[in-house]
Amino acid sequence: MPAKKTSRRARLIVIVVVLLLVAGIGGGTYWGVSTVRDSFPQTTGTLKLKALEAPVSVKRDGSGIPQIYADNSEDLFLAQGYVQAQDRFWEMDVRRHMTSGRLSEMFGAEQVETDAFLRTLGWRRVAEKEYKQLPERTKDFLKAYSAGVNAYLEDHEGSALSVEYAALDLGGKDYKPAPWDPVDSVAWLKAMAWDLRGNMSDEVDRALMTSRLDKDEIEQLYPEYPYDRNKPIVDHGAVDPVSKEFDPKAEPEGDGGQGAANGAGADAGQPGTGGSQGPSEGTGEGGATAGGSGAVNGAQSAGEATQGASTQLGAVAKKLDGIPGLLGPNGSGIGSNSWVVSGKYTTTGKPLLANDPHLAPQLPSVWYQMGLHCRSVDKSCPFDVSGFTFSGMPGVVIGHNQDISWGMTNLGADVTDLYLEKVSDGHYLYDGKEVPYRTREETIKVAGGKDRTITVRETNNGPVISDRDKELRKVGDKSPVGNAAPDRGDGYAVSLRWTALEPSKTMDAVFQLNRASNFSEFRKAARDFAVPSQNLIYADTKGNIGYQAPGRIPVRGKGDGRYPAPGWDPRYRWKGYIPQRALPWEYNPERGYVVTANQAVVDHEKYPYLLTDDWGYGARSQRINDLIQSKIKDGGKISLKDMESMQMDNSSEIAKLLVPYLLKIDVKDPYVREAQKLLEGWDYTQDSDSAPAAYFNAVWRNLLKLAFGDKLPKELRVKGDCLYVAPSDDSGPVDDLSGEERLVRECGQRSADTAQPDGGDRWFEVVRKLLKQPDSDWWKTRGSVRREGDKNRDDLLGHAMKDARWELTSKLGKDIDTWSWGRLHRLMLKNQTLGTEGPGVVQWLLNRGPWDLSGGEAAVNATGWNAAGGYDVTWVPSMRMVVDLSDLDNSRWINLTGASGHAYNAHYTDQTDKWARGEFLKWPYSEKAVAKATEDQMALTP
């Protein structure tokens, strides 16, 4: 049987594309038809793989999504490795180089600083330790997967692997991929954990704010979670003070809240790096940033300690900003939705489960759809699972098997702490003593250049990440500070304590989830899901639903992780981890559904451990709760279509709050009044063709800039945003601005994706409180030669409406009837690496878009955008799925892009149009349904 390598449509596309390929790439060469088509996978016929024990079938549907059938587990995962390499090897190769700090081997000297930072974190080193401690059976699966990838590499190289390799060759990189290793798969979990690491960005931002704001002002920008309005995930239950077990039916006694949290760690287990120090009677000499509400204990205030470290923290923030975020920007806006509804409230009589993780838009999508089926499911081959996984990693991450389904959202636990370190002559100060660093050397190989060698330093709190910036290389040994608080910024080094830098068994948890058959086995698997800490929801074919909060979450001594802590004070050491048995869970809750959307897991006043103080603020979760309640009241039922519609809900929660205030403003300017009228009668939905949505979001963006953005330090503002401001301690030269008071010109340093104020639902809460304080100083702005400053809330709201009118006039034209939200709010899909950093013509060939999108910031349809940077889409529902536990073949799924990572393959972005419209693909699962959907079938034989 001849092998079919591409569809007729794909051949036509290739022909058209080849006609468009221009000369000049790589010095006058060009790509021909064979170069573009070389890497398209064989999807029919027969292929021999000598490592197989028995024949394997690979069945692909019309979207190119593979379903694999095998007689044993090793063959199943070997075939998974082979098939994923067929479709996505470039993506897999870049990921493993990123996680091991070896991007310079592929892309040259421009990646050395990124590699140095990643080597300092040591992801690969930790992954190697994790692999060694995994169960032998899990190692067998990882080895089989690697054998499948390497079987593909044996017969493919250069452009036959992917067209990007041809681009590397033309660029003179002379790069050849090394064989795949099982640790390459394990290390991917570190990238996943990094992008979902919790509040580290908030911790840095709060510290940087001290150069411009006082403690009370900072805390106003980080209000408490509104437990009275936005429900936590688990609204009942308590931890038994003796057994440390969480009982979802118990009622908390007395003050069970976070006041007891830091002392609750006696039975919490031992921390890793550096060992357990336990409580200490040390004096905290030199001062200490404390936790609490940002208060400080010791000789220094929070402002003094964090201002003293502003240079390091600013550079650290800049470095964090530059690390490739394979899942998305880390901040208050990023998140995910998942919810499950019991059969008593569904039209099917069995549970319905929905999930849509919100991650960075990528091409190809971070997710890969597939099914893994043992032909006979038994103990020797227990897998019959389908769903979404990551290229480069065996198993299925989110999906269902024959008995259960599960979904994930980021729990957001605070699992990172930054420590300020006092350093002198090869040592750091701890508990009044000089302790020598642990050091290691790392050699970074550079394509087309000389090797670079770096020295990594570690304290008992973790690696010193501030070493990895050229402006900070004099920190430490060459800048001794002694025991007293330094009088200059470069007197501190900054180290990182992070749970993911300690080995875990998360990889094994994935396989356990894949073969779990009931809630007990699901919870057992969750116990090993250490990092990243995820909200796990559950449903089964018997009608049960549930929730489990897993993860390795630290118990702190002193402090709560809101600000960088004093590394020299042993009272701020971690004491252990929250016992897994104490983490919240529930099974068949009385309310009949579970909603997780990055809101608080449990009321902090009723739970004895500190999970975090930096939750998402519950705008999305409460909207989902309200939508479910509106459906089931008076005996109503929820259908699969209802679940799909809820995922596409575009309602703006901040618009509901703010628009009534905007409509009360007496606007004199008829040009601005014309725009204001758009908000009259608006239903607050953010459809792509909505002019009111466009105008409101422009007002919101300008309000945030006027009230908050212009008052933040340069380290938090977007690059290119330059202001004349009163000088601070680290400001540059003073300029004279047109006769006004002498000011300094400060320009922002953050990328558009991570700058503040980002407009996430934290800012909803900030503005909600301030709307009731019309004379708050936040509403006051500084005037200029041409304009008086705003004196109160209504002045600033009017100013924001005027600025928004002129901004949209410049972007969308004078005629408001032609305005639409989608023209502002656009999605571009960029191929990773070469699609963002490669030559312009290569970017043009590999990237796709734009798409005009509905949805918005903190909407359920969370097509996120950063208000400080603009309206472009910065994160998206990276996939959507709805699982029908009454009939698994009736489930639905959709990916952001397509199955293929090969540009101009028919399945490169063939799902994107449907995804943008809120449509789904059928999700065949049973052998009969898969056979009916199959368009291409390939046999892999020994």
* 667-701 per-residue burial string, b: 16 or more CB within 10 A, e: under 16: beeeebeebbebbeebebbbbbebbbbbbbbbbbb
Least confident piece of the model among 133-142, 484-493, 611-620, 821-830:
484-493
How do residues 780-809 score in pLDDT, each as one tens digit?
Answer: 998 876 678 999 999 999 999 999 999 999
* pLDDT tier for residue 318 given thresholds of 50, 70 and 90: low
Q: Which residue has the higher pLDDT, 660 or 752?
A: 660
Token readout for 740 is 């006004």
Check if the beta carbon of residue 298 is closer than 8 Å to that of residue 572: no
Nearest to 291 by CA among 411, 417, 194, 413: 417
Strands (E), 543-698: 545-548, 554-556, 565-566, 574-577, 585-587, 593-596
How do residues 692-739 score in pLDDT, each as one tens digit?
Answer: 999 999 999 999 999 999 999 999 999 999 998 887 655 444 444 444
How do residues 813-844 score in pLDDT, each as one tens digit?
Answer: 999 999 999 999 999 999 876 656 666 667 77
Bridge partners (DSSP) of residue 496 are 418
Q: Give Dmax over CA atoms of the chain in angstroms.
A: 84
* pLDDT tier for residue 483 given thresholds of 50, 70 and 90: very low
Task: Name the residue with tokens 């597939």.
Answer: 370
Mean pLDDT of 305-314: 54
520 sits in which H/E element:
helix 519-527
Which letter does DSSP use for residue 302 in this model? H
Check if the beta carbon of residue 134 is closer than 8 Å to that of residue 508: yes
How do residues 15-60 score in pLDDT, each as one tens digit?
Answer: 444 444 433 343 334 455 566 677 899 999 999 999 999 999 999 9
Token readout for 657 is 């709050």
How do residues 192-219 score in pLDDT, each as one tens digit?
Answer: 888 777 678 888 889 889 889 999 999 9
Nearest to 448 by CA among 839, 107, 862: 107
Check if the beta carbon of residue 63 is closer than 8 Å to that of residue 897: no
pLDDT of residue 199: 79
Tell whether the model's pLDDT for residue 489 goes beyond 60. Answer: no
How do residues 435-448 score in pLDDT, each as one tens digit?
Answer: 999 999 999 999 98
- The amino acid occupying position 630 is S
**Residue 500 exposure: Cα atoms within 13 Å on the Cβ side:** 27
pLDDT of residue 553: 96
Q: Which residue has the higher pLDDT, 480 or 932?
A: 932
Q: How far apart are CA 378 and CA 359, in angstroms?
A: 36
Least confident piece of the model among 169-178, 277-286, 306-315:
277-286
Mean pLDDT of 605-634: 96
Q: How far apart are CA 59 and CA 818, in angstroms?
A: 47
Nearest to 860 by CA among 685, 688, 704: 685
State the alpha helices, DSSP H only, in 557-669. Answer: 619-632, 640-647, 653-663
* 329-362 per-residue burial string, b: 16 or more CB within 10 A, e: under 16: bbbbbbbbbbbbbbbebbebebbbbbbbbbbbbb
Residue 729, classified by CB atoms within 10 Å of its CB into exposed (0-12), middle (13-18) or buried (19+), is exposed
CA trace torsion 92, 751, 333, 248 (10° rounding): 60
Nearest to 895 by CA among 388, 393, 340, 395: 388
Average pLDDT value over all residues in the chain: 86
914 sits in which H/E element:
helix 912-917
pLDDT of residue 376: 97
Nearest to 463 by CA among 432, 487, 431, 428: 428
Tell whether the model's pLDDT for residue 500 goes beyond 80. Answer: yes
* pLDDT tier for residue 662 given thresholds of 50, 70 and 90: very high
How do residues 80-97 score in pLDDT, each as one tens digit?
Answer: 999 999 999 999 999 999
Tell whether the model's pLDDT for residue 263 goes beyond 60. Answer: no
Tell whether the model's pLDDT for residue 272 goes beyond 50. Answer: no
How do residues 384-433 score in pLDDT, each as one tens digit?
Answer: 999 999 999 999 999 999 999 999 999 999 999 989 898 888 899 999 99
Check if the beta carbon of residue 191 is closer than 8 Å to that of residue 326: yes
Tell whether the model's pLDDT for residue 935 goes beyond 60. Answer: yes
User: What three-state secondary structure class fits 513?
Assistant: helix
Tell whether the model's pLDDT for residue 856 goes beyond 60. Answer: yes
Tell whether the model's pLDDT for residue 271 goes beyond 80. Answer: no
Q: How far apart are CA 833 and CA 836, in angstroms?
A: 5
- Angle between the 619-632 and 761-770 helix axes, to the nearest 10 degrees? 90
Q: How far apart are CA 620 and CA 719, in angstroms?
A: 29
Check if the beta carbon of residue 902 is closer than 8 Å to that of residue 163: yes
User: What three-state secondary structure class fits 16?
Assistant: helix
Q: How far apart are CA 636 and CA 589, in angstroms?
A: 19
- 169 Rama class: left (phi>0) / alpha (psi -120 to 50) / beta: alpha
3-state secondary structure 51-98: CCCCCEEEEECCCCCEEEEECCHHHHHHHHHHHHHHHHHHHHHHHHHH
Check if the beta carbon of residue 342 is closer than 8 Å to that of residue 825: no
Q: Report percent pLDDT > 70 for the chain.
A: 82
Which letter does DSSP use for residue 512 in this model? H
How do residues 94-123 score in pLDDT, each as one tens digit?
Answer: 999 999 999 999 988 988 998 999 999 999
pLDDT of residue 303: 39
Q: How far apart are CA 263 and CA 571, in angstroms?
A: 12
Q: Which residue has the higher pLDDT, 562 or 823?
A: 823
